[in-house]
Amino acid sequence: MIENERIIRKSLVIQAARQMMTAARTAPKGKGIDIIEMALATDEDVHRLSAEMLKIADEKGLKFFLRDAENILQADVVLLIGTRIQTQGLNCAHCGYATCEAKPDAEPCAINIIDTGIAIGSACAKAADLRVDTRVMFSAGLAAQRLKMLGDDCRCVMAIPVSATSKNPFFDRKPKD
């Protein structure tokens, strides 16, 4: 049997994204508590993300959302990584509040945000190992958060579009008017 890479490329990229999820899941977590949520968006869901990014661009006047909305359409899959809000009870004040009790409930614990960053770093390291193209995008992550793609209680959602082409489509991008 012959399998042409051009025909199976999308499935290979999705497999790579699944391995990126595993890397993110096994990344160290503050106090050993895992509150990271992840999902893969493909096809129609990537188009939903792009449409929401266009709405955000219109609402906020941020032009890079226009560029990123078009850019994620070049991905075979978009990995979404976010955190549920759960105070870790350290009273470390890293969030800017003196105690965990003083922190508003809607405000993420700083440890939650740090855990998200470590998970993203692990996912991107795996992507580099697998030689797939990626870029971390908070713009697409914000759209995913607004669409509640990781659930109602997920915050600080980031998106990582994944592709495997001869040139990384997520770099050397031109601004949109």
Instruction: Encode 19-83 in three state secondary structure.
Output: HHHHHHHCCCCHHHCCCEEEEEECHHHHHHHHHHHHHHHHHHCCHHHHHHHHHHHHCCEEEEEEE
- Write down the pTM of the prediction: 0.94
Q: What are the φ and ψ backbone dihedral angles of 13, each rounded to 5 degrees?
A: -65, -40
pLDDT of residue 176: 73
pLDDT of residue 174: 79
* Residues facing residue 126 across a β-bridge: none
| Dist CA 13 CA 143 (whole Å) | 22
pLDDT of residue 105: 85
Tokens coding 132? 């797939």
Give tens-digit pLDDT for 85-120.
888 889 999 999 999 999 998 888 999 999 999 999
pLDDT of residue 173: 79
Helix (H, G, I), strand (E, B) or coil at 112: helix
Percentage above 70 pLDDT, the chain: 99
Cα 7 off chain centre by: 26
Helices (H), 91-157: 110-130, 138-146
- In 3D space, the residue among 158, 166, 165 whose CA is nearest the CA of residue 68 turns out to be 158
Residues of the chain with pLDDT under 50: none
| Dist CA 163 CA 10 (whole Å) | 8
Inter-residue contact 65 to 55 (CB < 8 Å): no
b/e burial code for range 149-177 (CB count within 10 A of at least 16 → b) = bbeeebbbbbbbbbbbeeeebbeeeeeee
- In 3D space, the residue among 62, 65, 95 whose CA is nearest the CA of residue 159 turns out to be 65
Opening angle at CA 84, ends 55 and 60, nearest 5: 20
Inter-residue contact 13 to 78 (CB < 8 Å): no
